[in-house]
């Protein structure tokens, strides 16, 4: 193993050092002026410039929560080939005109077997059933590979992704293209003992993680869900989904900067659906609200979403833009959000299920 310079003398740099061993690390490097010139685990912490001058002698390993920023800095210095520390492993990358993101959600199904009131994904039962075709999914996931040198975690979601008739092939394709990424499937779990065994086998062999959203309905059968997943050697976790919230208003007059700062999902919620990459799940869901209620929201291409096949797409610039408020943000509430208990819909879907009314906003 070639000795490495670990770029990042923080939590992830320490984690990488412990896994690699002292004999495989030449030094650390960091941008923090207070750390430069000091020692960590008996290794000197270099400046970025000192590290760059040694790029031909040692392998550079970027280890930080901000791999995107590190990748830009390394690329600007002419260092296109380096390693990243991701999910507890070293991965070699080539960052030339590509970007990094730790998380992308991919919508593979729009319909659901539940009918949650205030569904955050706008996937209530009155939404027209839709599943992405396998060939279209494969084109899109391979295009992501052209754009990103690494994606830390890819979450497949709906609606209810277990309703996809080719879920096993979708998972297989994802693992084939992104061999080092975590694959996660977000589900309410209710159908887990009813899906084709091929889907369960694909989850197991591809090390997919099942994320069970534990609604009141799900809680009643959690023992059965656990039994099926454990029997098939599938890694899983669950979290209680007993509270929902609304974020959207119907008028684009809110303080976009403040709304962005208050948003819990602002920097880690890119959504891909049918060749379009959205800055967040709310931006991706707006089309369904528009269709159901004959409304119009002003989203800006290249700021709130982008066509991943666009000839002039600059993915690095886009990632930078997604770190700042977009046009979409002026529709989001600019006050701390209120939560309310989860409950099933009474069958009538209303605009107020998704949109904060004027009265609700004034009382926030």
Whether residues 172 and 301 share a domain: the answer is yes
Whether residues 82 and 103 share a domain: the answer is no
363 domain residue, yes or no = no
Q: CA 151, 77, 12 angle in degrees (round to 5)?
A: 45
Partners of 14 in the beta sheet?
none
Go through 273-289 and write b for each residue having 16 or more CB atoms within 10 A of its CB, e for each that does not. Answer: beebbbbbbbbbbbbbb
> Residue 240, SS3?
strand
**Which CB contacts under 8 angstroms, 24+ apart, belong to 74-79?**
74/7, 77/48, 77/52, 79/52, 79/55
pTM over 0.85: yes
**Of 74, 94, 114, which residue constitutes the final position of a domain?**
94
CATH number of the domain within which 347 lies: 3.20.20
210 domain residue, yes or no = yes
Whether residues 90 and 121 share a domain: the answer is no
In this structure, are residues 178 and 154 in contact, taking their beta carbons and an 8 Å threshold? yes
Whether residues 14 and 150 share a domain: the answer is no
Whether residues 115 and 64 share a domain: the answer is no
Whether residues 177 and 308 share a domain: the answer is yes
Question: By residue range, what is the domain housing residue 165?
Answer: 99-358
**Torsion angle of the four alpha carbons 305, 310, 312, 318, in this order, in degrees rounded to the nearest 10:** 20
- Check residue 266 and give its pLDDT: 59
Q: Measured between alpha carbons, how far is 141 from 139 in angstroms, rounded to an integer? A: 6
Copy the structure tokens of residue 293: 């209620």
**Residue whose C-alpha is closest to residue 86's, from 73, 107, 70:** 70
134 domain residue, yes or no = yes
Q: Provide the residue-wise pLDDT of the chain in tens; the chain has 364 residues.
A: 689 999 999 999 999 999 999 999 999 999 999 999 999 999 999 999 999 999 999 999 999 988 988 998 999 899 999 999 988 889 888 888 899 998 999 999 999 999 888 888 888 776 788 999 999 999 999 999 999 999 999 999 999 999 999 999 999 999 999 999 999 999 999 999 999 999 999 999 999 999 999 999 999 999 999 999 999 999 999 999 999 989 999 889 999 999 999 987 656 689 999 999 999 998 998 988 998 889 899 999 989 999 999 999 999 999 889 989 999 999 999 999 888 899 888 878 888 888 998 888 988 8
Whether residues 41 and 163 share a domain: the answer is no
Whether residues 301 and 240 share a domain: the answer is yes
306 domain residue, yes or no = yes
Residue 115, classified by CB atoms within 10 Å of its CB into exposed (0-12), middle (13-18) or buried (19+), is middle
Whether residues 125 and 256 share a domain: the answer is yes
* Tokens 């991919």 -> residue: 106
Whether residues 310 and 352 share a domain: the answer is yes
Whether residues 115 and 183 share a domain: the answer is yes
- Number of domains comprising the chain: 2
- Check residue 126 and give its pLDDT: 65
In this structure, are residues 21 and 43 in contact, taking their beta carbons and an 8 Å threshold? no
Residues 6+ apart with CB under 8 A from 38: 44, 45
Q: Measured between alpha carbons, how far is 113 from 136 in angstroms, rounded to an integer? A: 24
């Amino acid at each position: 193993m070639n000795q490495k310079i670990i770029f990042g003398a923080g939590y992830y740099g320490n984690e990488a050092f412990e896994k690699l061993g002292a004999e495989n690390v030449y030094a650390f490097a960091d941008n923090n002026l207070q750390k430069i010139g000091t020692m960590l685990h008996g290794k000197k912490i270099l400046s970025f410039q000192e590290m760059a001058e040694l790029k031909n002698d040692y392998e550079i390993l970027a280890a930080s929560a901000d791999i995107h920023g590190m990748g830009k800095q390394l690329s600007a210095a002419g260092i296109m080939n380096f390693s990243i520390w991701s999910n507890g492993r070293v991965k070699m990358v080539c960052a030339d005109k590509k970007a990094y993101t730790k998380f992308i959600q991919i919508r593979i199904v729009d319909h659901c077997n539940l009918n949650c009131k205030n569904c955050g994904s706008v996937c209530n039962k009155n939404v027209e059933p839709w599943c992405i075709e396998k060939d279209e999914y494969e084109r899109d996931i391979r295009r992501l590979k052209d754009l990103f040198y690494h994606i830390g975690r890819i979450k497949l979601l709906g609606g209810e992704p277990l309703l996809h008739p080719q879920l096993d092939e979708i998972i297989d394709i994802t693992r084939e293209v992104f061999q080092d990424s975590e694959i996660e499937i977000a589900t309410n779990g209710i159908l887990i003992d009813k899906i084709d065994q091929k889907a369960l086998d694909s989850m197991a062999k591809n090390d997919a993680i099942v994320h069970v959203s534990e609604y009141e309905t799900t809680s009643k059968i959690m023992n059965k869900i656990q039994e099926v997943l454990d029997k098939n050697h599938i890694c899983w976790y669950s979290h209680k989904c007993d509270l929902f919230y609304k974020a959207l208003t119907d008028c684009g007059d809110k303080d976009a900067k403040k709304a962005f700062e208050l948003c819990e999902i602002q920097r880690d919620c890119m959504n891909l659906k049918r060749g379009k990459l959205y800055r967040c799940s709310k931006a991706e869901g707006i089309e369904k609200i528009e269709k159901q209620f004959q409304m119009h929201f002003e989203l800006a291409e290249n700021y709130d979403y982008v066509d991943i096949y666009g000839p002039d797409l600059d993915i690095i610039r886009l990632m930078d833009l997604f770190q700042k408020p977009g046009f979409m943000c002026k529709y989001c509430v600019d006050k701390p959000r209120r939560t309310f208990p989860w409950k099933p819909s009474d069958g009538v879907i209303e605009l107020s299920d998704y949109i904060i009314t004027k009265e609700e906003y004034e009382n926030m």
